[in-house]
Amino acid sequence: MSGATRTILGSGLAVLFAVSFAFKPSRAQQQAAQAPAQAANVQASVQDINDAFVAKLQKQIAGHEQEPAEKVFKNVQIMKKAPAARFLLIMNLGYAKALGVACTYCHAENDFASDEKRPKRAAREMAAMHSNINQQLAKMQNLAPNPQGHFINCSTCHRGQIDPMAGNN
């Protein structure tokens, strides 16, 4: 784009006019204008990476999708009884998406069973906390009724960020 775009709202009408200027925007202005598009591309590429890992794993477990995760995968310490196919979905669309990370943020790329990465160990601790909170929520009698029940998940706090406090300034 060879110019900046300005939106003009006139006389209470939601009429938008694009006005192009002949000056070249500063590098900071260019980066600010590109940031939302780049953020969307980063998100898409992270999800694409995760989907590729899941597709590879789905091929490897073909025929065992309904067996418990602990029997199909090595070193499973949470959701042991979940069917293997569901376990992969939870990891991809639950954990990874809730934190906005690729699978390799927690897992060693060539050895998903490895516990070498701190974030994987932390995720297990967070899963235990999450389970305790949900147990407490189930016991509460004075919450407004909810037909789906009361529960939290990773997204409740993280909302697509590694650091749950990231957007709370």
Count CB-CB contacts under 10 A for residue 78: 17
* Single-letter amino acid, residue 101: V
* Single-letter amino acid, residue 44: A
Give the model's pLDDT for residue 13.
25
Give the model's pLDDT for residue 26.
53
pLDDT digit string (tens) for 123-143?
999 999 999 999 999 999 999
pLDDT grade, residue 111 (50/70/90)? very high
Alpha-helical regions (H) of the chain: 27-60, 69-72, 84-89, 97-99, 118-139, 154-158
CA distance 50 to 58: 12
pLDDT grade, residue 166 (50/70/90)? confident
pLDDT digit string (tens) for 1-58?
333 332 322 322 222 223 233 334 455 555 555 555 555 555 558 999 999 999 999 9
CA distance 160 to 43: 10
Per-residue pLDDT at 119 exceeds 60: yes
- The predicted model scores a pTM of 0.70
Mean pLDDT of the chain: 81
CA distance 165 to 26: 31
Average pLDDT over residues 151-156: 95
Q: Which residue has the tokens 């029997």?
A: 71
